[in-house]
Structure 1
Amino acid sequence: MAMKIRWDDSEFEPSPAMLRRAAHWQLRLRDDPDGALRAAYEAWLALKPAHEFAAAEVAALGDAAMLLAPESGAPVVPLRPVRFRRAIPVLQIAAAAAALWFCAFTVAPWLADLGAGAVTATGKSARYRLADGSSVTLNTDSRIDLAYTGSERRVTLVRGEGYFAVRKGDPRPFLVDAGEGHVRVTGTHFYVRRDADRVTVTVEEGHVRFSGATGGDAGPALTLGAGDQAFLTGHRLQRQANGDLFTAGAWRQGQMVFLDAPLGDVVTELNRYRSGKIWILSASLRQRNVSGLFKTGDTAEAIRTIEERLGIEATHLPGGIVLFY
């Protein structure tokens, strides 16, 4: 007898109560941004996906003055700046957040306000133009926060991956924080990817300073030029002998490139673009090598190709779950 699995959309859709809670958290952090409070907030975000969506909506709504869509040809959509108060009614938050959700995720966004953040859903990418003329393209399931001042332009890669095209001529340094990894530039093009166990930086043009120090300016650092790639694992920086710019940037063309990569690594990458995950049921199967060029928007075709090339079995379950064995 087949087992029926019921999926609860409420896990991903923030409720009005969650929106109010997210607003409350951000007000507290604005008034008292200490480490313990930040840790508690991050723990709340990790409880369920809907919490992160609620936080992203409220953060953007509370700081963004306007969202433009220059690349899609859509008209300018000005939004009146909103500042949350603790007594703001839940329905006002929910209605405003719904309007922001429509503007931000159906129109290519322009980040005009320096305090705004951006987030992409699983399987989606988006290009955002920043107020200083720089731009960032976010890959699947990625999130950034912005903090520009008169002395620096700082971006925090909370998760995922981004391609940064930094405008030249601005004397303020452009800083990207990704966990323990820190990148410092003035004008250049580069990639930063934040995984659970490491941070990867790949330079397309210009030079960057890649540091693993907590403060970003002290301790060991690497200077990377065009075509260079480096990793930070824990507190250890390592330069890649033969950086692969094509593979690192393939996602911007909607592609994934693998050359004799273990199936376990391939599946990890495919899962970044899927809501239903792929599982490998055999330890030896994880070590089988795979080569290929796959589309980020068609992981089903990649699964079929892997089945054929490796001669393995795959079981498809409800919700897009796939078992390799």
Structure 2
Amino acid sequence: MNDRNRAAVITLSIAAVERDTGLSKDTLRVWERRYGFPTPGRDTLGERAYPLDQVEKLRVVKRLLDAGHRPGRIVPLPFSELSALSASTVDQPVRGAEVLLGSADLREHLDRIRAHDARGLRNALARLLARYGVGRFVVDVVVPLNVAVGDAWMRGQMEIFEEHMYTEAVQVVLRQAIATIPESQGAGRPRVLLGTIPGEPHGLGLLMAEAMFALEGCECVSLGVQTPLWDLVLAAAAYRADIVALGFSGCMNPNQVVDSLGELRAKLPAHVQLWAGGSAPVLHRRRIDGVLPLASLDDIGGELRRWRTTPTAAAAVPAD
């Protein structure tokens, strides 16, 4: 189980806090001056050193910011009030996850993660995959589990290594499932290139999207995470991609998301569609010309059906 008795003596650098919370270094410095929080100490080199209790408060603040709250209102609040506010607003997805997967099943899987039972977790996930099939496994099992695991991590109730173990277990099961999906033959089979841009290290959502694309008969090529923009352009040409699909998590800086998608759209040929999905709120708050935002994995099937009815799609995909 988690041991946080050492919390009083552990501090994180500003770079580590940025990675841990998704809040930029500039934001942390501005809040320190403007709101008097966070209040880091200094390490032996004179650099900012953030105690774990402040990092945990910053995690909750980030969740509330993503839900639409303003920093001037929430940053000065004590942790107890932030937690109550989070429970009344941000935690709705977690309750929704319990409805999808069942609260008992959700707790059982979380208990396996916290008990460091990697084999038991993989076996349980494999059984659920066999029971539901790939599509329902992704949407009805992995999606709510991701919400619950992310919530536990953001609250400091799960260590980073435990979250990584969970992610690896799901990836192993999903890769095995994707390998069993029969390849579609004939016309109307789009080529989809999947990846993330530099600064986006999370690849589980990408693998989930690949599974859904494969179920729809797409020919998928995944480049994994953190591929430079120009290499995405080169890969789209090399693999004759019809669609470039990118994943973004909530930790990405909104301006970086918008700027990168705009730059990539300008570099890709006009006939190559650019799709973007994930938990980054900016994808659905700011319109980016030439970019199709996917609100959920369930949207992939419908958008592919629309793609297949366009004249450019019919011309781009030859019959095998």
Using structure 1 for the length normalisation, give the TM-score: 0.30
Larger % of helix: which? 2
Higher strand share goes to which structure? Answer: 1
Which is bigger in relative contact order (C-alpha 8 A, separation at least 6)?
2
